[in-house]
Amino acid sequence: MPTAPYRILIVDDHAIVREGLKQILADTDDIVVGGEAENSSKALQLARKGPWDMVLMDISMPDRSGIETLELMRKEHPGIKVLMLSMHRETLYAVRALKSGAAGYLNKQSAPDQLVDAIRLVASGRKYISPELAQELARTVSGERQTLPHETLSNREYQTLCLIASGLPVSAIADQLKLSVKTISMYRARLLQKMQLKNNAELTHYAIRHGLVD
């Protein structure tokens, strides 16, 4: 008997990106897009209406980050397979995504060439990482590359770092992440201590030097 096609949920806040992904997958017989969501809340809602063979999810979303959504989704559905998508290069978010339970990470610029193979690999129960990330991980494991200070931060601390470096005040970050100003201030204090930085100016300089902000 023929195998049923993989049923995919696409999560991205840009309609044009969702359409582009659907176009890439339109010519495949073994992959079908069964639903799409423009934000984290809708993604979690649709995940409960599964089953899904795989979720294709953006890192950056307006109401909640993709990594946070991934963690919430996997708490409710431990076996769900999630392939993360991002415009950010692999070294910024891929390891965080994998540690949070993602089954793979794909840069959007590589999507036209690698998306179908990545989905098939993940949907079949395996992990997908790009050749570039594999090389980076090999260098880290072998000791050729030392862990950088920002890589020691928790996901929420790292998110706070990037938002401060992008110029947002603590109050705006608290509003965006739907957390209290006190909580964001605590994350800021922690990350400054971990990274041995003194203030927002040093933090911003570090983020720019390491390509953490656009």
Domains of the chain: 6-140 (3.40.50.2300), 149-209 (1.10.10.10)
Q: What pLDDT does 92 receive?
A: 72
Q: What pLDDT does 99 receive?
A: 86
CB 172 within 8 A of CB 181: no
Q: What residue type is assigned to position 164 of the chain?
A: I
**Low-confidence residues of the chain, pLDDT below 70?**
1-3, 89-91, 140-145, 214
Q: Is the peptide bond before 78 cis (omega within 30 degrees of 0)?
A: no
Determine how β-strand 6-11 pairs with β-strand 31-37: parallel
Q: What pLDDT does 1 receive?
A: 35
Q: Give the residue among 98, 91, 25, 113 at the shortest CA–CA distance from 66.
A: 98
Structure confidence by residue, pLDDT tens digits, 124-174: 888 998 877 787 777 766 666 677 888 888 888 888 998 898 888 999 888
Collect all residues with Cβ–Cβ distance below 8 Å to 101 and sequence separation of at least 6: 70, 71, 74, 82
Helix (H, G, I), strand (E, B) or coil at 33: strand
Q: Given the structure tokens 């980050």, which residue do they identify?
A: 65
